[in-house]
Amino acid sequence: MARLAALCILAAAACCLLRSLTFVSAPAARSDALTAATGAAVLASIPAGADAFVYKGKEYFDVFYGIDPLAWAFCGFSIVYFGAVLKNAAQKYNISPDKTPPKVGGFVGKEVENGEPSYMDPSIKQGPY
């Protein structure tokens, strides 16, 4: 259920970001001289080349890059929310190394560790023969 909710929130964020209005980059200049001169004149006269816009004769820079502020707020909220979810999951399911017993000494066999008789003891019959 939590994964479905996370996917729905992610899909809603993508829709908000894709449907918002953005500035279009300036057109690329072509190789011939007339097109290059025309392109330079157009680039000099259009403020969209600098990602700026003109309102009532004054040029402004768009600090939101043409994206709706609500979409920026939702994106920031999503980053913080999913970061907290990942942090909580990492803390919940983390197995800390201090709970494992320290290794002391060298190798001992299974029979010594579990208190079983040795496999080399001749009084114990081993196998079907």
CA distance 114 to 53: 80
Give Cβ neighbours of residue 9 (< 8 Å, ≥ 6 apart): 78, 81
For the chain, domain boundaries? 2-99
The reported pTM is: 0.33
Instruction: Please answer whether residues 13 and 72 qualify as being in contact, where contact means their C-beta atoms are separated by less than 8 angstroms.
Output: no
18-63 pLDDT, tens digit per residue, is 665 555 556 555 567 767 777 776 655 654 445 566 778 887 777 7
Q: 60 has which bridge partners?
A: 53
26 token code pair? 């300036």
